[in-house]
């Protein structure tokens, strides 16, 4: 604390920065060794969605980076050749360390509405020109995310409702009218 107020504080911070990076790297490496393969099986849908977003980005020449709290996910992302950061994306320091400043697009996929809002606010503070696409787990949180400046909000409940309706219509179209009393004609929409 005494050195922080000295005339040499900027130089001291610069000199200690590489040491800090070393300790952070060692910490994340050791935490990454705690990977749990059973987690992938228990969360396979989220893993597939995450992978789809990453691969679509890579196919379009983007260099996606991942910030993830789960060490197993970070390890898997790194195994795929991605840059992955272990940490809480709602932390401004983690976002800055990941280099969000100047990013073109940032995608927030956390299910927790409070975390999504904090991430959105911190991203705007660090990189106001970045477009932020946010997952809204619950319809009740969607408007808040729009009001906080999201470029686009994917309302999970709405998307699921639309998909269920589509599946019901397809089922009724494909059903045999002899066995299903409410079957739709094949040309119905």
Nearest to 101 by CA among 73, 78, 130: 130
- Is 109 among the domain residues? yes
Q: Are 154 and 133 in contact (CB under 8 A)?
A: yes
Side-chain half-sphere of 91: how many Cα atoms within 13 Å? Answer: 11
Residue 57 is part of a domain; what is its CATH number? 3.40.50.720
Q: What does the angle CA 33 – CA 40 – CA 99 come to, to the nearest 5 degrees?
A: 60
- Is 63 among the domain residues? yes
**pLDDT per residue as tens, the chain (189 positions):** 455 565 555 556 556 666 566 555 555 555 455 556 666 667 666 666 666 666 666 676 777 888 888 888 888 888 888 888 988 999 999 999 888 898 888 999 888 999 999 999 999 999 999 999 999 999 999 999 999 999 999 998 988 889 899 888 888 888 877 887 787 776 766
Q: What is the pTM of this model?
A: 0.64
Which phi and psi (to 5°) does residue 83 adopt? -85, 120
Q: Are 122 and 112 in contact (CB under 8 A)?
A: no
Question: To which residue do tokens 């009218």 refer?
Answer: 177
Give the pLDDT score at 7: 52
- Is 59 among the domain residues? yes
Give the pLDDT score at 153: 94
Q: Are 135 and 116 in contact (CB under 8 A)?
A: yes
- By residue range, what is the domain housing residue 157? 3-174
- Is 52 among the domain residues? yes
- Is 58 among the domain residues? yes
- Is 43 among the domain residues? yes
Q: Are 68 and 74 in contact (CB under 8 A)?
A: yes
- Is 180 among the domain residues? no
- Is 185 among the domain residues? no
The number of domains in the chain is 1
């Amino acid at each position: 604390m005494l050195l922080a107020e000295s005339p040499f504080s900027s130089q001291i911070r610069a000199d200690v920065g590489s040491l800090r990076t070393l300790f952070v790297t060692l910490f994340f490496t050791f935490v990454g060794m705690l990977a749990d393969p059973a987690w992938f099986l228990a969360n396979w849908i989220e893993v597939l969605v995450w992978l789809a977003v990453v691969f679509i980005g890579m196919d379009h020449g983007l260099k996606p980076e991942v910030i993830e709290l789960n060490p197993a996910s970070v390890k898997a992302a790194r195994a795929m050749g991605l840059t992955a950061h272990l940490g809480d994306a709602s932390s401004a320091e983690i976002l800055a360390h990941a280099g969000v400043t100047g990013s073109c697009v940032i995608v927030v996929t956390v299910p927790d509405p409070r975390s999504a809002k904090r991430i959105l606010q911190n991203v705007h503070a660090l990189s106001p020109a970045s477009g932020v696409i946010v997952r809204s787990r619950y319809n009740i949180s969607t408007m808040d995310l729009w009001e906080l400046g999201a470029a686009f909000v994917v309302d999970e409940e709405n998307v699921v409702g639309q998909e269920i309706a589509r599946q019901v219509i397809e089922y009724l179209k494909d059903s045999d009218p002899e066995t299903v009393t409410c079957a739709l004609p094949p040309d119905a929409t």
